[in-house]
Amino acid sequence: MNYYSLNRNSEKTSFRNAVIQGLAPDKGLYFPETVEPLDPAFIKDLENISNPEIAYMAIKQFVGDDIPEAELRNIVTETLSFDFPLEKVEDDIYALELFHGPTMAFKDVGARFMARCLGYFNRNRKQDAGKVTVLVATSGDTGGAVASGFLGVEGVDVVILYPSGKVSDIQERQLTTLGKNIRALEVDGTFDDCQDMVKTAFLDKSLGEKNLTSANSINVARWLPQMFYFFFAYKQLQHKEKDVIFAVPSGNFGNICAGIMAGKLGLPVDHFVAATNINDTVPQYLKNGTYSPKPSKQTISNAMDVGNPSNFVRIQQLFDQDIEALKAKFSSYSFSDDQTRKVMANIYKASGYVADPHGAVGYLGLKKYLEQNPGKTGIFLETAHPVKFLDIVEDTLGVQVEIPEQIRAVMDKEKIKRSISSYEELKRFLLDSK
């Protein structure tokens, strides 16, 4: 499998090189040269196939010969060491819970898969070639998932940038308390500022010896494995005779982009809904045809506080840059914090289900689409455990959320971080790191 840059000014490369480089030399995102649909008989028989086998069949064409079959099967099995339950919330409405992993966020899948791929690629790396530095920006859950996934991986250092005051206390603890090969930088700015610093570092030739790569969803090994749980959700549906709609709370749009890729592989999804908070760059694009990134705004669904979603260019490519073809399979709606809090309360009152702010935005997007397109089965993604937004959930619902063991493990640990406010400070930090 070859990958090409969506900026089309770099040479094609392998899965291995795309993972290690993260971003193409021309600053473009890597994209697979071909996408081959899976055997329809395989899709039809999903409910009789194990999750690791489904994941292996979905990902193998994108990895190609860069990882042997036995090793790739091991990587997939280790990645998927937890459950992905589909919970009924109301008639024909389900929540796909993606928070049963080690950091209680959907990003555990991509981070664990990428860490294991990079660990495999580093096995035969010469010591004098230096360590690989994973440089990642986070608006919330990415940092914790990457920190957990890469903790102790041989030959890999991890540097995480996060916006000061714009992640929850638990999210911050998950990325600042692990130590070892994980270091955290608190940035005076927004997530977009963090992301811009990361992209600038990739293009800075003076940092070449640091062997930089990214663990954001711009990296193909973080992005593509997110296909898995769309297959897992469909597998669990008891009645598949109705059209299936997936609604995905969306910030950097990597998750929904992976879902659309699952659709390209043959998963029978009728429509995708990207639900956003007030950071509405994509909903506005679908309304007026003009893509106009804007500074991100802080909300209670902070992991979606992204004003310039990197992965939307991949979604456009999946539809051959045809906005009408995109609109036929893809919708996007924006919702306020007030709407989010109100629907969290309504869901709890009606069903007893506790949704976090991100899942609640996904639910809102699903309901809005179904109002105009009734008679379908809807699945919204619950991307993080409610405990990660403890104050918001408890204040909104008037309930006490039990603290899971994964979270209790970091609550009393000391936060170790360094504050920066400019790219020059990031560069100096990287150059001074051993």
Active site residues: 107
Structure tokens at 91: 């008639």
Cβ neighbors of 4 (< 8 A, separation 6 or more) are 10, 12, 30, 31, 33
Q: Which of 239, 299, 262 is nearest to 94 (CA)?
A: 239
What distance in Å separates the CA atoms of residue 434 and residue 419, rounded to the nearest whole number? 19
Decide if 182 contacts 160 (C-beta within 8 A).
yes
For the CA atoms of 378, 379, 385, 388, the dihedral, rounded to the nearest 10 degrees, stands at -70
Q: For the chain, how far is it from start to end, CA to CA, in angstroms?
A: 34
Helices 51-63, 69-79: inter-axial angle, 10-degree rounding? 130
For the chain, give the secondary structure using H, E and C.
CEEEECCCCCCCEEHHHHHHHCCCCCCCCEEECCCCCCCHHHHHCHHHCCHHHHHHHHHHHHHHHHCCHHHHHHHHHHHCCCCCCEEEEECCEEEEECCCCCCCECHHHHHHHHHHHHHHHCCCCCHHHCCEEEEEECCCHHHHHHHHHHCCCCCEEEEEEEECCCCCHHHHHHHHCCCCCEEEEEECCCHHHHHHHHHHHHHCHHHHHHCEECCCCCCHHHHHHHHHHHHHHHHHCCCCCCCEEEEEECCCCHHHHHHHHHHHCCCCCCEEEEEECCCCHHHHHHHHCCCCCCCCCCCCCHHHCCCCCCCHHHHHHHCCCCHHHHHHHEEEEECCHHHHHHHHHHHHHHHCCCCCHHHHHHHHHHHHHHHHCCCCEEEEEECECHHHHHHHHHHHHCCCCCCCHHHHHHHCCCCCCEEECCHHHHHHHHHHCC
Q: Tokens 């290690």 identify what position?
A: 20
